[in-house]
Amino acid sequence: MAETRPRKPAFETRAIHAGQDPDAATGATIVPVYQTVTFTQDAIGVNRGFEYSRSGNPTREALEQCLASLEEGRFGLAYASGMAAIAGVVQLLESGDHVVVADDLYGGSYRLFSQVMPRFGLRFTYVDATRPEEIDKAVCESTRLVWIESPTNPLLRLIDIAACAEIAGRQRARLVVDNTFATPFLQNPLALGAHVVVHSTTKYIGGHSDVIGGAVVVNDEETAQKLRFTRNATGGVPGPWDAWLTLRGAKTLAVRMRQHESNAAAVAGFLKGRSEVARVHYPGFPDHPGFDLARAQMRGFGGMVAIELVGGEAAARRLCEATQLFALGESLGGVESLIGYPWSMSHAAFPPEVKRRKGITEAIVRLSVGIENADDLCADLDQALRHAAASA
């Protein structure tokens, strides 16, 4: 009789149970916050799996196991922030190494790549990664990483992860995918051939705008060991309370992402018909250049929308200051809706000429669509657009 393989639990189930067995000491159903710096040893060199919380903590370990499961990976590492996670991956490199970077990326990543890491002998080349052939042209003998986001921040362009992975693999380089916008609920880059996945867990995974964090997930044990060693050496770890809050957020990621996506589709559709809006960037529209790719490599279109205002910079600024439910602020991915002005907020690190070349103009506004009532969100944007027009 053929052996029946056990059924793999669904995403929603793993989000609640992966790495989260009842506490061995007390039977606590929810993972405890191990708020301790050190762990008492049974003898010199004899411990119960933990020594010092920078090196390892049970609460953080539960989060890491959960995130690895959600990303269909073997090894998860939690960091103190998304930028700490990004810096941790870059520390896999050595002086003289070269990185090919998708030029449509988060401003904080660009700041690190352009102003910090070159001082340590690293070289970065920026390309239009929506055309994989441009990555192929840019890689060279010293290329060790190919770095992309998909969908991109803030213009929601789609990049072919599998094609980029094939190119990186031919050059014996690692493909790194920042999966923050898509989340593991909608996209699993490791399953598409990527070697490293990065998250700002501050955003959708934490989901409530109350905790800073980051994560890296990989399949390769040697890479995981290198990342773990460097993280311990440099100390960019989250505290146990931050790890617990992030783990709590991850439990509801699936239900939140369904509502984020539903609301974003409603908001994007509402904005597309407005005379004040020149263009709506949303990969769920069939006329979006990345629509087919999004359907192929994602399980949905996400909760982000970007718009370009007919009235240019003045209209964009007025809109950002006129919304009532959409809070004007940095970040994204929380249950509450946020409105941002990439030109001077998320992408302030880019020189003006670079932003304009990438299509990030003074007229662009980014919306992180929350899980409030969709009609209320559209009504808020309606009154804000009317106010912006009246104030012109």
What confidence tens digit (pLDDT) does each residue in 291-329 have?
A: 999 999 999 999 999 999 999 999 999 999 999 999 999
The verdict on residue 51 lying in a domain is yes
Report the pLDDT value the prediction gives residue 392, as an integer from 0 to 100.
Answer: 66
| pLDDT, position 2 | 58
The reported pLDDT for the residue numbered 312 is 96
1 in any annotated domain? no
Is 75 within a domain?
yes
- Does the active-site annotation cover 54? yes
| pTM of the shown model | 0.96
**Where among 198, 217, 251 does a domain terminate?**
251
* Number of structural domains the chain divides into: 2
- The verdict on whether 358 is a catalytic residue reads no
- Of the residues 54, 228, 258, 272, only one is catalytic, namely 54
Q: Is residue 5 part of a domain?
A: no
User: Same domain, yes or no, for 218 and 366?
Assistant: no
Same domain, 163 and 102: yes
For the cut 70, the answer to whether the pLDDT of residue 113 exceeds it is yes
> Is residue 2, in this structure, part of any structural domain at all?
no
Catalytic-role residue among 34, 79, 106, 282: 106
CATH number, position 369? 3.90.1150.10
**Which tokens sit at 335?**
């249950």
Mean pLDDT of 281-290: 98
Range of the domain at 265: 253-390
188 with 278, same domain? no
Across the range 219-246, mean pLDDT stands at: 98
Q: In the listed set 216, 231, 251, which residue is the last one of a domain according to the structure?
A: 251
Give 353-373 pLDDT, tens digit per residue.
999 999 999 999 999 999 999
> Do 170 and 154 share a structural domain?
yes
Chain mean pLDDT for the chain: 96
Q: Are residues 267 and 203 in the same domain?
A: no
**Residue 275 shares a structural domain with residue 220:** no
Residues 155-164 have pLDDT tens digits of 999 999 999 9
* 358 and 274 housed in the same domain: yes
Give the CA count within 13 Å in the CB-facing half-sphere of 365: 35
Whether residue 306 sits in one domain with residue 182: no
Distance CA 102, CA 145 (A): 11
Is 106 marked active-site? yes
Whether 50 and 184 map to the same domain: the answer is: yes
pLDDT band at 139 (very low <50, low <70, confident <90, very high): very high
What band does 390 get if pLDDT is binned at 50, 70 and 90? confident
Q: Say whether both 119 and 33 belong to one domain.
A: yes
Which candidate in 104, 136, 160, 178 is catalytic? Answer: 178
What local confidence, expressed as pLDDT, does residue 4 receive? 65
Across the range 25-40, mean pLDDT stands at 96
- Concerning whether 104 is annotated as a catalytic residue, the answer is no
Q: Which amino acid is at 165?
A: A
Of 60, 144, 203, 366, the catalytic one is 203
